[in-house]
Amino acid sequence: MTELTQRQELVEFARQLWVYLSRHAYRAFFRFEAGKDLIAGALYHQRGRYARPFLHSAMLALIFFGITFGPKLVRASFLSENESGGVVGVVFGQGTETNGLVTIESQKTWNQVSEYTIKDGDTLSGIADKFDVSVDSIKWANPSVNWQKIKDGQVVSIPPVTGIVYKVKPGDTVYSLAKKFETDAQAIVDFPLNTFSDDETFALVAGQTLVLPDGVMPDAPAPATPRFANVLTPDAGAVSATGNFAWPAFGRITQGFRWYHPAIDIANHDGGSVLAADAGRVETAGWSSVGYGNHVVINHENGYRTLYAHLASLSVQVGQRVNRGAVLGMMGSTGRSTGTHLHFEIQGTGGKPDPLGYLK
């Protein structure tokens, strides 16, 4: 009997508890609904009052995040595109301006030193041809490899271009390395893989890897005699484009046409005049924020344009018509440049060809 009474009391307690909780839950729900309706009504009557302040605040926040994180996002996007094999229009490691000039897309992987696994029948010269680099460049990148005894499965390093892959030591500079390894400082700066702790002075950090295009080891045979640009200008004074391009300056060719440098560099320590390679209309004349410095673009109105970069001064204006051999300005070292030289490009309908194949 006592057990039954306790069970009944427990059931009654549970029932009363349920009634209590249900009542308070109902009251709480009712108050919540009433409060919600009150707030909704107030917002409805005040609609539009805060639209403008909200819009202004949102725009300020967007501008703040764009300035703060924009450069990092752009750099990340640029690097991811390069790693996927695409080549952005680049000159001197930076993007080109909208002046009608585009860079031919290249399939060459340039953003890293590659590793290659030797296959049966491979030879040093065959590997060099496959990767379009010199035999010596591969030897220098693999000093411990005996190329007379290479075997299937052996892994070797392949430099991205003909030249030297070098680990920077304390005290090294772009200029000292260019002198030591008999290459051009501008070529080192132009190579897309190379980075600098200061883009104004091209400062290096000890331990970083640097690619020295066309560099040679100090004990290697001397490079071929440098070629000089001829300033003789046949048909000088021609008022219409001839289709043949004359040399735009006198000096030594310090850097040739490459997949990452679709131009030639003509250097002259004393500067000198920069001449129009053919007749045409000046399409661009002024400062470039992407590395060209003072530059001129001439539209020859026959499917070709020519670009002249790093000028010390300009002698022409946009819209001006120039004859073949006309002075465009003086050779200089403005923009992303390591010394006095002319960066000369030819732009055709199919991209940027090697100027040496067109200059007469």
More confident residue, 249 or 107: 249
Global pTM reads 0.57
Residue 67, pLDDT above cutoff 70: no
Distance CA 259, CA 196 (A): 21
pLDDT for res 94: 35
The pLDDT tens digits of the residues spanning 204-229 come to 999 999 999 999 998 755 555 566 66
pLDDT for res 114: 85
Closest CA to 215 of 174, 192, 261, 184: 184
pLDDT for res 237: 56
Beta-carbon contacts of 70 under 8 Å, excluding residues fewer than 6 positions away, are none
More confident residue, 352 or 94: 352
- CA-based end-to-end distance of the chain: 122
User: By percentage, how much of the chain surpasses pLDDT 90?
Assistant: 49
Any idea what DSSP says for residue 17?
Answer: H
